[in-house]
Structure 1
C-alpha cells in the first residue's frame, strides 16, 4: 500500500512505534487477531491498536506460504482432518529462535479433500431459501441420507467410538441420550475469549434440529445445563452468562451437535442469522409448540442461506427455482 503522507511526517510518526512503552492490554477481539494496547511514548499516554494484516493473495506469495512456516505443532488429527499452530519464518532461514514466540497461525488441514470441501470454502454468491416441511421431507432429507452414506461422518464416529480425540473429551454421558463435549477443531485451545467447544450426541437418529420434537425437550434442556456446568468447571475464568450455545441449519455435518462459544467471539458467517439457531430459542419453540410429543421442527418452515456452489442449491433449491423437477436419484 502506497502512503500519501509527506516523507518527513512519515519518518516522524514511524519513529513513534519503537518508543511505545506498554502499560496494559485494553482489549483483544476478532478471535485474537486485533489487540488494543495502552502505553506511553515519551511519557505521554498513547493508544496502539494492532491488527494482523491481510494475506497477500498473489500466486507467488501463496505458493511459498506453507514453506515459510516454522514450529508447526499438531493439535489433533481425525480421519482426513488435522489442525495445527505455526509460526511465520520471516527471515526465511528456517531456524528456530531461542526465545519462545507465540504462534502466528492456527491451521486446519483437510487431506485428502473432496469436491464438497472445495465448494464449501470457495468464494460464492449466497441465496436465501425457505425450506418447507414438504421440501424437507421430499428432497432435503433424502439428500441428507445420501450424504451420510458417503462416509462424511467418519470423523464424528471415530470420536464417539473411542478411536480418536479421547484425551480431549471434557465431559461425557453414555447411553441412548448420551453426549460428549470436546474442543472444536477451529479453537486454538488457549485463547478463552475465542473459546469454541463442540457437543456431539451419541444417538445417530438425530441428524439435525429437524429431528427435535416436543418429546425431546427435557433431554435438550438437560444437555444445555450439563454443557454449561462442564465448561465453567474446566474454565473457571468464564461465567455461564458469557457463553452462547447454538446449532447450525443447515449443518455442515448431519449428526446433531451443539456449538458452545464465548460471547466475546465475534460473529462471523457461521453465527449469522438463518445459519445459527440459539439453543435457548430452540428449547422455547419446543416448549410452546402446539401438538403431541411428536410435533417438532419437521413441521415448520426454516429459512437460511446457502452458497450457489453447494449441492443443496445445485440439486434442490436451484432446480425448484427454475420450476424443474428435482431428480432424487441423482443425489
Structure 2
C-alpha cells in the first residue's frame, strides 16, 4: 500500500490541462485549470530559485538550447534560451532570460555582487555640493557615449521600436527601446525606456516648473507611441516613472505595464512617478525656475556603489550620519 507521500506525488502526472487561468510575476507563475481522474483541479506552477551548487551552475551555459540573441550594445548582450534541452529547440519554449556583460569590469563585479544597502537622505545642499559634481564627473568620463550612439542612430537601430526623426525637433525628440530585463514577448511584463534627445536634463533634479508643459507633452507622446506599437495595451495599463538615482545621467523615462509586479526597480525611494513629479512641480512656490533641485530626496544605495563610497560614506564619517 503506497504511503501518503507517494500517493500525493502520483497526482501531478495525472493532471489533464483544460485551460490557463492566469499568469503573473512576469510569467514566472502559471495557474492552470484541469482534472485529475475526472475531478476538477487547479495546478499552480512557479519557478523555483536556482540551486546554489557550483556544479549545477557551471553546467548551465553548456546545456542551453535555442539560444536567441535579443540585442547587443558594446559589452552588453541579452538572450532567450531553453534550459530544458530534451524538450525542444524552439524559441517558443525559452524559459530563461539571460543578460551577459563581456568583457566586464571590476565595477560590474561590484554592482552585481551581494552587498549591504544603505538608506540615504540627499538634501538640496548635498545635491549641490557633492552629488551634482559627481554626476558631472560621470558624464565627462564618457559614460554616456553608448546612449548618444543609440539616440543618434549609430547603434542598436534594430532594437529601437519607435523614434521621432532625429534632429528634427531636439527639444521634443525621443525614442523607445526595450529595457534589458524584458523578454520582449510577455506583454504584461512590458518594460520600455524612453530616451529624450535633449541633453540639458541629466535627471529629475533638473526638472523645473517651466518644464511642466514639456513633461505633459512627452507623457502624451510616449503613451501614444507605446499603444500604437502594442495595440493590445491601453494607455491606462501603463505607468511612467523616473529613477533616482538613475543608472546613467541622461534623462530617460521608464514605461511599464501595470501588471508587472514591483521589484527593486519600482521600489519606493527608487522609482518616482512622472505624474507625481509634474504635480509636485506645479505646487512649488516661486517662479518658473523653481525645481526638483530644491527637494530633499531619500533612496537606497549599495555599499559598493561609487556614490556611497565617494560621497555619502565620507559625509557619514564626517558628520556622524549620511543625511547631515
Please give the TM-score of this superposition, normalised by the length of structure 1: 0.91
Give the structure 2 partner of residue 176 of structure 1. Answer: 170
Give the structure 1 partner of residue 226 of structure 2. Answer: 231
Deviation digits for residues 109-148 of structure 1 (CA, Å, limit 9, x no counterpart) = 1112222222222222211111111111111111111222
Q: Runs of 5+ in structure 1 lacking a partner?
A: 1-5, 326-331
Which SS does the other structure have where 1:37 is aligned? strand
Give the structure 1 partner of residue 24 of structure 2. Answer: 29
User: What is the root-mean-square deviation in Å for CA atoms of aligned residues?
Assistant: 1.9
Give the structure 1 partner of residue 273 of structure 2. Answer: 278
Matches within 5 A, 1:196-215: 196-215=191-210
Q: How many residues align?
A: 316
1:293 equivalent to 2:288? Answer yes
Give the structure 1 partner of residue 248 of structure 2. Answer: 253
Give the structure 2 partner of residue 306 of structure 1. Answer: 301
Matches within 5 A, 1:105-184: 105-173=96-164, 174=166, 175-177=169-171, 178-184=173-179
Q: Which of the numbers 217, 242, 254 marks the counterpart of 2:237?
A: 242
Give the structure 1 partner of residue 317 of structure 2. Answer: 322
Structure 1 residues 323 and 166, CA gap change in structure 2 (3 angstroms): same
Alpha-carbon shift at residue 100 of structure 1 (Å)? 6.3
Identify which range, 97-106 or 171-180, moves more after superposition. 97-106
Structure 1 residues 43 and 110, CA gap change in structure 2 (3 angstroms): same
Q: Which of the numbers 45, 49, 52 marks the counterpart of 2:44?
A: 49
Structure 1 residues 309 and 156, CA gap change in structure 2 (3 angstroms): same
Alpha-carbon shift at residue 277 of structure 1 (Å)? 0.2
Q: Runs of 5+ in structure 2 lacking a partner?
A: none
Give the structure 2 partner of residue 189 of structure 1. Answer: 184
Alpha-carbon shift at residue 255 of structure 1 (Å)? 0.9
Please give the TM-score of this superposition, normalised by the length of structure 2: 0.92
